[in-house]
Structure 1
Amino acid sequence: MIRIYPEQLRTQLQNHLRPCYLLLGNDLLLLQESEDSIQAKAQLLKFNEHFRVSLEDVTDWDTIFSLSQVLSLFAHRQTLLLRLPENGVTATIEKKLAILVSLLHPDFLLILRGQKLTRAQENSFWFKALSSNNAVLVDCTTPDPAQLPCWVKNRAKNMHLSLDDAACKLLCYCYEGNLPALVQALERLKLIHPDGILTLPLVEEAVTDTSYFTPFHWINAVLSGNSKRTSHILQQLRLEAREPVILLRYIQRDIFLLLTLKRHMAYTPARILFDQHKIWQNRRPLLMQALQRLSVQQLYQAIALMLKIELTVKQDYSDYVWADINALGQLLCSNTLFPTAMIDV
């Protein structure tokens, strides 16, 4: 199975249309654009009948199987798009997908669209069957902060825009996690500046901060020790009227986990501790950064500050709670400007 990113899909489609495409990820813009590109290529190759089905346990699979039958000489070529369930593929659906994969032929194009790929799905029979049928997996996950600048520059280049590094950095800052708004901003800049040359002053005049974050983005920024990013994300969460208590619940779990790991690292390797606590592989580097940066004393200070915030929320909720949460984030980022007096409770 070929694994590519959406920006690589156009080149792949120019070479050859594969019998099956898996569009998996959390970004609606990337999912839709990838689907549109595949359908447009299929249309050029005379795939003139298109069907869509959202899979459930009660799906009529006999109808789906009938679509995949080998066509007569004068029949139309067909595409079938199946939306995988948001809560995961059940055992029943897995069995049916495995059968469907065995029925693929040159006049029948299968497109599967769903959430991020899980390890269980990778090990499933239907996924392995697709791997042996020249399928293509398109990773439609929203680019992370490290990948986003490259994505923005590639998108700008495809739109015949010249973007300097400072302008690109500003766009990433203002639109992280919100690719539809980012693309709209580039389209708007292209209209305003037909010559396509975009510098920082020109971009500053046209953009607004519409980045989109979840509490998990804030947690990851805290664990990585990026104090500026931590404050930016928290400000956006506040503007979106997120509940402070939710942030507390998420961060306190990681603080107590860090304290436990810190106590045992002196005589137990980190890898073994991570395995014992069933920590996902993609979180381990972030936790390791925090473990190397934070002392036990700082973690106890963070616990004391969490208690102060908890009392503030329960007794007399006010805007001051956001300042305290920001102080908590800065403490965990090891920001030396953190006022230690704030932890008195």
Structure 2
Amino acid sequence: MRTFADKLVNILQRQLHPVYLLFGGEPLLIQESRTHIEQRAKADGFSEVFRFAITTQTDWNEIFDACNAMSLFAEKKIIELELPESGVNQAISKQLLSVQQMLNPDVILLVQGSKLTKSQENAKWFKALESHGLWVSCLTPDAQRLPQFVMQRCNQMGLKPDSEAVQMLAQWHEGNLLALTQSLEKLCLLYPDGVLTLVRIESALSRHNHFTAFNWIDAMLAGKAKRSQRILRELHNEGIEAVILLRTLQKELNTLMSYKQALHQQSLQQIFDQYRVWNNKRPLYTAALNRHTPQALYAMVCTLANAEHTAKTDYDNSVWPILTQLTLDMSIQKHP
């Protein structure tokens, strides 16, 4: 069974599962989900917590012993496994399957890790654990879901923002939920009546956007010119190296050109299946492929190559104006 982090509290009120899988790229949601599960489990007598950070040096016998320790006088326990950033290799997969086979009513298993790939979702170890419990998605809300997330947080804290305030909070804190939480706590102290307006927010807060190159790429693929330009400006202000953005864009352009070439012999659905493209990325690639001709993509590749050469050899000239133009071309260009 799968749910999102913002639905977890309601589910915990109804039922306690033997296994919880917390996966996603948002540390705040993983931390809060883990806390909610621990509090609910402790209320049911699971008083001991054993935490293990899984590495190549992990002594799995300690974990197995914790799972197996059952007696009339033994405490019910929560066993938490933090998987490595690099993911689950074959050795760890084997051990996780062993842990699953040792589960008993006196143990709640909590496994946390970064964002799952499609192959990891289909892995034997993951399916075995998911069949016994709850998969909690802890992904950062995207730009469309973030206003709803902001409104939900405000309601929980007794804040009453108007629609413009919600949009501003979402825009200022996109990609940085921890800063959003801190800002809302500050607003609670500053405005005991809970009323939030644009004027109040602007006078109390500074921007806390935290974008990545991948947010920039997704905005361009989707054809959102204003958003992609805004993200590029934020990345520039944060001091990201232009070469990193150039190489990231180069990878996406090469991907689009490969898909364009393959379209002569396959349908887009077949191409996506062959390359195992994530479902949430398919509409973005579809939009970009419909918007750009092969000639337009090739022209952008040439411009990008020249920009990278300039970045590496001509330190007196900035490539940011070229990146700005490429961002605009990638977002709206339809013809070569």
**TM > 0.5 fold call:** yes
Letter in 2 for 1:218: W
Contact kept? 1:5, 1:140, Cα under 8 Å: yes
In structure 2, relative to structure 1, the CA distance for the partners of 1:239 and 1:299 (3 Å cut) is same
String of CA shifts for 1:176-227, please: whole Å, max 9, x gaps. Answer: 1100001111111111111111122222222222211111111111111111
- Cα pair 1:46 1:77 within 8 Å, conserved: yes
Match of 1:152 in 2: 150
The code of the aligned residue for 1:250 comes to T
Query: What's 2:2 paired with?
Result: 3
Cα 1:165–1:72 shift into 2, 3 Å = same
> In the TM superposition, what is the alpha-carbon distance from 1:161 to its structure 2 partner?
1.2
- Which runs of structure 2 are paired with 1:41-56 in the superposition (5 Å)? 41-56=40-55
Which residue of the partner structure matches residue 128 of structure 2?
Answer: 129
Decide which of 183, 186, 189 is 2:187's aligned counterpart. 189
Cα distance in 1, alignment partners of residues 261 and 71 from structure 2: 70
- Opposite residue 22 of structure 1, the aligned amino acid is L
Shift of 1:335: 6.6
Q: In structure 1, what residue type is equivalent to 2:77? A: Q
Describe how 1:28-43 pairs up with structure 2 within 5 A: 28-43=27-42
> What residue is the counterpart of 1:298 in the other structure?
296
Instruction: Call closer, same or farther: CA 1:178–1:256 in 2, change over 3 Å.
Output: same
Instruction: Measure the CA separation in 2 of the matches of 1:274 and 1:215.
Output: 22
- Give the C-alpha shift of residue 51 in structure 1: 0.9
Quote the offset at 1:310 in angstroms: 2.6
Match of 1:343 in 2: none
Unaligned ranges ≥5, structure 2: none
Which residue among 217, 223, 243 is the counterpart of 1:245?
A: 243
Q: Report the CA distance shift for 1:94/1:165 in structure 2 as closer, same or farther (over 3 A).
A: same
Deviation, 1:121, is 2.9
How many Å separate the matches in 2 of 1:54 and 1:169?
38
- Report sequence identity in percent: 40
2:204 to 203, 206, 218: 206
Partner Cα separation in structure 2 for residue 47 and residue 89 of structure 1: 27
Separation in 2 of the partners of 1:257 and 1:120?
20
- Shift in Å at residue 46 of structure 1? 2.2
Q: Distance in 1 between matches of 2:169 and 2:210?
A: 13
**Bigger shift: 315-324 or 21-30?**
315-324
After superposition, residues 254-269 of structure 1 pair within 5 angstroms as: 254-262=252-260, 265=263, 268-269=266-267
**Are the counterparts in 2 of residues 176 and 211 from structure 1 also a CA contact under 8 Å?**
yes
In 2, distance between residues paired with 1:33 and 1:163? Answer: 23
* Residue correspondence of structure 1 range 218-229 to structure 2 within 5 A: 218-229=216-227
Bigger CA drift: 172-181 or 285-294? Answer: 285-294
Q: What does the per-residue CA deviation read over 1:228-287, in whole Å, with 9 as the maximum and x for residues that have no partner?
A: 111111112112211111111111232233344445646643233445555444332211
Structure 2: distance between partners of 1:35 and 1:203: 31
Aligned residues between the structures: 335
